[in-house]
Structure 1
Amino acid sequence: MRIAILKRDRCQPRKCQYECIKYCPMVRTGAETIVIGEDGKPVISEELCEGCGICIKKCPFEAISIIGLPDRLTGEETHRYGENGFVLYGLPIPKPGKVTGLLGENGTGKSTAIKILSGLIVPNLGAKTATWDAIIKRYAGSELQNYFIRLAKGGLKISYKPQYVNAIPDYFRGNVRELLEGTDERGMAAELVDALELNAALENDIKELSGGELQRVAVIACMIRDADFYFFDEITPYLDIYQRVRVARVIKEVLNDRAVVVVEHDLAILDMLADYIHLIYGKPAEYGVVTMPKSTGRGINEYLSGFLHAENVRIRDKPIEFTAHPPREKQEEERRVSVEYSEFEKSYDGFVLKAKAAGIESGEVLGVVGRNAIGKSTFVKVLAGEIEPTKGRIELDIKI
């Protein structure tokens, strides 16, 4: 099986000579393997393409990909974004009382998958459009058949938390309290605000919230809807380690009798939260394949190793390995202090950062770890000379 992908944002027919058509061997024999579409961009026939790869090499903008896929995926397209566009194969399976994780590389269709299950996208099965009857028939005999029957009839209550929380102020005007009170269908807003430590932000306008505050507001807003299925498109961005653990625990406890699907990249949080996971592999912006469910531990280990045993597919040339090792030994001549500072303080209204005297040596990588909003960025800005300390001094003899 072969699919052809045209990266439409890269394709610039006004600046090329249609090399993809000019050099295609099949076109030269008279076949309409590549033709010019209504928008002036090439349309590649996957049925006629022989996969020689000449168009890939000749395209001056690297806008074409020809991908060979296992024959078992033939006719199994779940959704396709237009002709020669991204293709998604398969979907995760939400189960009542369980948390389903979805793990995979960016651009392989995780958000598309949960938007389909949330009813935000109607899957087209690889065609221009598809009827609900065709969709239900495609999944006949599977756990998703009944799901789509209920979804088509409007019989599912669904709560969805979007990936990009920084867009929330574009859709809502008001403060945090007003947003949550208008959303609370379970009478749990106050309890969850307390659990996720958002009481201090209740009267703040939505557009004034930090990324971490917006993320927690979005998670709470999703949980306080009375739904059958809950979909979270990433829960950890902008959150520190403490907040990530708190959010995961609250989701697990509050939604323990509901079906939950979580897209997540933080492996530790996914391991803690999910009952089982689906991996999704493929090529970013080209195609994605959702695996059958795996136990959480097995799924994470296969993702790290780069080899999926049940599918007999290698998704990565090298495994991702975490090695524990002591700090490297530095030669005496390397030991030169680049940044030196005395004990200093930086004060703002209602906040004081205190730092003890120290120095940073040349060639040293120094990590700064801590909860959000306790001064990590302020500390670095003082060292970089961007802001002056209220007390103490910083001696800089370097370029930053």
Structure 2
Amino acid sequence: MSELYKIKDFQFQYPNSKSVLVYSGTNFINENETLLLRGPSGSGKSTLLYALKGFLPNTIYGKMTGEVLFRNQSISQLSRKQKAQIGFLFQNPAAQMLSRTVWQELAFGMENLEFAAYQIKEKITEYAKIFGIGELLSRQVSELSGGEKQKIALLSILLMQPQVILFDEPTAFLDPDSAQHFIEVFNQIVHNKTIVIVEHNLQYLQKVVDRSLWIDNQGIVQQIPLQQIDWDYKFPKLQLVSTGKTILAISELNFAYKPEKPILTGLNLEVKQGEIVGIVGRNGAGKSTLLKLLAAILKPNSGKIVVFGKKINKYHYKELYKLVGLLFQNPENHFLYETAAKEVQNDLTVLAKFLLKNSANNNPFNLSEGEKRRLSLAIQQKLERQIFLWDEPTFGQDRKNKEILIELLAKMQKAGKTFIIVSHDRPFLDAVCSRILALKDGKLYEQQKD
């Protein structure tokens, strides 16, 4: 294989950040290989992808030293047309959406590459059929779930037919069926392309990866033999604890954003104090919507939600929010201050629990996506609520941070806290949940745990 990228003594520092991301030595990425980048959350894997795309230091600002060469040419010197041959899937798909409708979003890249109108229509129709997203083409982007946005972002990249594709956690927001479908499509597109993947959900990737690099927090880059990777790690399971009385009850809940397309239909659920309940389901099934209804951000069309024996619509919002805490799927929705420390009232002990002490003085928006998620979890812990509604809490987290979260859940559960967790991370749910429910066709169904 011939060398495509050369990365030599690369360093980068974001504005208003005290940390310098370092990649020591000289490393290469070869033509037509599929490379897996691994390392602790916050080690700079996403930043390295930004460098490989040519975003640094002018599109994404910061101080950069060292070399990043693409076919022996400085990445910063590539033309717009050359950079268009490098596709990039962001870790947070919402950051990639530019257009109002799904069709416009898919067409946007090809229009900029001057594809003919008939080619754009043909390609979108063809790829929509392959991906099974035909029903989304007429939708507004703002109506999509996180997983649906992930699919559209991926498809918009593939439509531009790049020679290099940089994937930043491509399965993070995908349900297991969609993730498996992604791998099937992936196998069709990797021929004669260079693929670089950052991913923590390794169970999907074993059969598609050619080589793996590990980047630690000191910037040391090591090649790890594929046979040494634990592709399907199982977390230690929480011990079941005795639960108390029912503190959350949902009966005959109905909700629709549009009358002609119901999301939840006659949904029922009872949750006891101290339970950890997992909710799974396909992208767009209504899982995040359900959590927003339980947090009174949305109002149901009909049905009843009772929290601690009182109908949710009878609470003043200040009273309800002392009982119920919602972890949004997008961690940035939690940030209000200019430093991570201020987000948790300067409680460095809490930041240390989530391995964020060294980022205390950093702007929350300059953290990695995994660090942002941990900061939002730290904010949640400081809230001291009784019921926690968590939407994709393990997004962007490596194994160590997931194990830390499992330990935290155990302590909070013993203190009588109750959790409803929406996640596509089935190994995590199997480890922590007392029961797992699948949301399908507007209703919840019991699922067997692993």
Letter in 1 for 2:130: A
Partner of 1:291: 222
Shift of 1:272: 5.3
Shift of 1:100: 1.2
- 2:148·2:283 contact (CA, 8 Å) conserved in 1? no
Relative to its length, the structure with more strand (as a share) is: 2
Letter in 2 for 1:162: F
Note the 1:268-347 alignment, pairs <5 A: 268-271=203-206, 273-282=208-217, 287-295=218-226, 297-300=227-230, 322-324=235-237, 328=240, 330=242, 334-342=243-251, 344-347=252-255
- 1:91·1:290 contact (CA, 8 Å) conserved in 2? no
Distance in 1 separating the partners of 2:293 and 2:52:
47
Partner of 2:158: 223
Distance in 2 separating the partners of 1:164 and 1:272:
25
Partner of 2:194: 259
Partner of 1:376: 287
Shift of 1:91: 6.7
Shift of 1:324: 4.8
Distance in 2 separating the partners of 1:323 and 1:191:
44
Distance in 1 separating the partners of 2:127 and 2:142:
21
- 1:96·1:258 contact (CA, 8 Å) conserved in 2? yes
Partner of 2:181: 246
Structure number with bigger Rg: 1
SS of the aligned residue for 2:229 comes to helix
Q: CA RMSD for the aligned pairs?
A: 3.9
SS of the aligned residue for 2:91 comes to coil
Distance in 2 separating the partners of 1:252 and 1:363:
43
SS of the aligned residue for 1:367 comes to strand
Shift of 1:248: 2.7
Partner of 1:26: none
Distance in 2 separating the partners of 1:194 and 1:224:
13
Alignment: residue pair count: 281
Residues 1:240 and 1:91: Cα distance change in structure 2 (over 3 Å): farther
TM value normalised by structure 1: 0.57
Letter in 1 for 2:13: Y
- 2:266·2:303 contact (CA, 8 Å) conserved in 1? no
CA deviations on 1:162-212 (whole Å, 9 max, x unpaired) are 33432334xx44533234335346964333322333322323444554433
Partner of 1:78: 10
CA deviations on 1:67-89 (whole Å, 9 max, x unpaired) are xxxxxxxxx62234399833222
Note the 1:338-377 alignment, pairs <5 A: 338-342=247-251, 344-348=252-256, 349=259, 350-354=261-265, 359-377=270-288
Structure 1 residues without counterparts, runs of 5 or longer: 1-75, 137-143, 305-319
Residues 1:358 and 1:78: Cα distance change in structure 2 (over 3 Å): closer
Letter in 2 for 1:366: V
- 1:340·1:360 contact (CA, 8 Å) conserved in 2? yes
Distance in 2 separating the partners of 1:391 and 1:84:
50
Note the 1:1-400 alignment, pairs <5 A: 77-81=9-13, 85-90=20-25, 93-121=28-56, 135=67, 147-149=71-73, 157-169=85-97, 172-184=98-110, 188-206=123-141, 209-271=144-206, 273-282=208-217, 287-295=218-226, 297-300=227-230, 322-324=235-237, 328=240, 330=242, 334-342=243-251, 344-348=252-256, 349=259, 350-354=261-265, 359-380=270-291, 387-388=299-300, 390-391=302-303, 394=306, 396-397=308-309, 399-400=323-324
Residues 1:345 and 1:118: Cα distance change in structure 2 (over 3 Å): closer
CA deviations on 1:55-76 (whole Å, 9 max, x unpaired) are xxxxxxxxxxxxxxxxxxxxx6
Letter in 2 for 1:367: G
TM value normalised by structure 2: 0.51
Shift of 1:90: 4.9
Distance in 2 separating the partners of 1:371 and 1:84:
38
Shift of 1:257: 2.8
Residues 1:191 and 1:275: Cα distance change in structure 2 (over 3 Å): farther
Residues 1:181 and 1:354: Cα distance change in structure 2 (over 3 Å): closer
Q: Indicate the structure whose relative CO is greater, using CA pairs within 8 Å and at least 6 residues apart.
A: 2
Shift of 1:351: 0.5
Residues 1:389 and 1:78: Cα distance change in structure 2 (over 3 Å): same
Distance in 1 separating the partners of 2:64 and 2:108:
37
CA deviations on 1:35-56 (whole Å, 9 max, x unpaired) are xxxxxxxxxxxxxxxxxxxxxx
Residues 1:103 and 1:188: Cα distance change in structure 2 (over 3 Å): farther
